[in-house]
Structure 1
Amino acid sequence: MSGQTPSKSERAASRRIAVAFLVSAAGAVGFAVTYGLNGGTQWEGVCLAVAFAGLAVGLAVWSRRLVPVGGYVEEHEGFVPPPAEQAMTAAVFRAPESPTRRWGLLAALGFALTALGVAALFPLRSLLPWDRQRPTRSLKDTPWGPGIRLVDDQGRPLRPDDVPADTMVAVFPEGSIDVGDAPAFAVRLNPERFIRQPAGGHLGGLVVWSLLCTHAGCPVRLYLKGAGRVLCPCHQSSFDLLAGARPIAGPAARPLPGLPIEVGPDGFLRATGDFTAPPGAGFWSRP
């Protein structure tokens, strides 16, 4: 009995188990590749789901189809089995259908577990100090920087004269119009009315601030002419541009970050650096 070759159902189960473990390994490799290429958290989640699902299916089929189940009662007088029984037990473990002899399945399981273990190391890259995209830095850095020209929503560079007095104009970094934390707005105010100097400075009253509310990141698109104030329509936070864009009403607790600007040799407005503070809503180290 112990020397019989595996049955047809056992061979089919072995194939299903091997395929499940290989699918698990493929999912783990897919996760590592997707993470390395910044393919998006959705695809990373899909790959992890495939990896763990394949591992779970393989182990479930193995335990259900190949591992003996049931209750066994053996009555004997002593604790040392007779020689014939010892020989039979040894033959069982040497038999082709014994779980300890299924080297192919064990190799597939080891490959799947190794792939998952290696894939689990990839997210640590985000925490390493030399990683340019680690979470803390990605929340603070934006596409703005020295020499980046200010453009409108059509990508046209702006000159100082393109910002009329007491008018709010949406501006973006050239080449990065669609980046979520990059939108800003320019407004020309009377510098004699400044109660507090803008954090990013100004060019004869021309000032640029982040367009994102510091409460929840909504765009502060409502401008109150004459009063020098902007209002966030989401939760009614109000910012006084004449006092350094500090919040004067609503749930926002931080002023709008300013953007330092200059006029380039070509006559167009350019940034001289990034925002004076991280734009948008707060995060774990910045409420």
Structure 2
Amino acid sequence: MAAFLASAAGAVGFAVTYGLGGNTPWEGVCLAVAFAGLAVGLAVWGRRLVPGGGYVEEHEGFAPPPREQALTAAELTAPESPVRRRGLLAALALAVTAIGVAALFPLRSLLPFDRARPARARRDTPWGPGVRLVDGSGRPLRPQDVPAETMVGVFPEGNVDAGDAPAFAVRLDPGRFSRPPAGGQLDGLAVWSLLCTHAGCPVRLYLKGTGRVLCPCHQSSFDLLAGARPIAGPAARPLPGLPIEVGPDGFLRATGDFTAPPGAGFWSRP
């Protein structure tokens, strides 16, 4: 019974942890306790239900003798029989029910009414109107801080460590754009998401003079002069752009979020 109760406690712990915002290590521990308790309980119950030891029985017929049938019925209906222990059965039912209910919690993430996880989280990043562009040390950037044909990593002020927010700025010749950047450009200065649209790796390699960036993970290549569309590799979507402007203080700032969800594709995108 203790194993079944531990299983139920683990399932409840998983549901509570998930409901409070989620913590992957603790969710794993709770699930491990839930399933391990259920497995141990069933194993112990099975060992006690089936007699141990070695037995040899002469087969005189397929039907057991009447005396053996009576003894079996008496054993199964006796008050001390494991089959009739209501507390044990109740604990088993509690464990199975708790695990079943806990399994429903992750499904909330896939339902339309759950706006926090994960669909909206894939679309909303720390970027927004008025958020200044800063470098890795948190220093705000001015347009002149982005030299021509140079890739400069940029982040939203106050959220340098946000995993979905890294971007990069490049200043190109405005006359070379065959397709305008999705987020617009300021005298050739444009900003795109740093995350590859294939698997979310950082697109860190800029091929100077070509207007192209390369993802080192799976060799997806994007043409910044043609809307940052993929021209090689497994990526299927262009890099999302970030709309920018120069604020009254002379620093670069965003006028909104990325033009598309950054990073790898998911169930509603290629």
Q: 1:74 corresponds to which residue?
A: 65
**What amino acid sits opposite 1:73 in the alignment?**
P
TM-superposed CA distance for 1:183, in Å, is 1.0
Deviations 1:80-110 (A, max 9, x none): x9xxx79x96797353x12354233233223
**Gap change, CA 1:89 and 1:206, over 3 Å in 2:** closer
From 158, 164, 168, the counterpart of 1:185: 168
- Contact kept, 8 Å, 1:67 with 1:99, in 2: the verdict is no
**Gap change, CA 1:29 and 1:152, over 3 Å in 2:** same
From 188, 197, 207, the counterpart of 1:205: 188
d(CA) in 2 for partners of 1:44, 1:105: 26
Q: 1:118 corresponds to which residue?
A: 101
TM, length-normalised to structure 2: 0.83
d(CA) in 1 for partners of 2:88, 2:226: 70
Please state if 1:284 is matched with 2:255.
no
SS at match of 1:223: strand
Q: 2:243 corresponds to which residue?
A: 260
**What amino acid sits opposite 2:77 in the alignment?**
F
Please state if 1:93 is matched with 2:77.
yes
**What amino acid sits opposite 2:20 in the alignment?**
L
Instruction: Structure 2: state its 5+ residue gaps.
Output: 58-62
d(CA) in 2 for partners of 1:23, 1:115: 11
How many aligned positions are there?
261
CA RMSD of aligned residues (A): 2.8
Instruction: Structure 1: state its 5+ residue gaps.
Output: 1-17
Q: Percent identity?
A: 79
**Gap change, CA 1:89 and 1:285, over 3 Å in 2:** closer
Q: 2:85 corresponds to which residue?
A: 102
Please state if 1:229 is matched with 2:212.
yes
d(CA) in 2 for partners of 1:100, 1:65: 10
From 47, 60, 65, the counterpart of 1:64: 47
TM, length-normalised to structure 1: 0.79
Q: 2:233 corresponds to which residue?
A: 250
Q: 2:18 corresponds to which residue?
A: 35
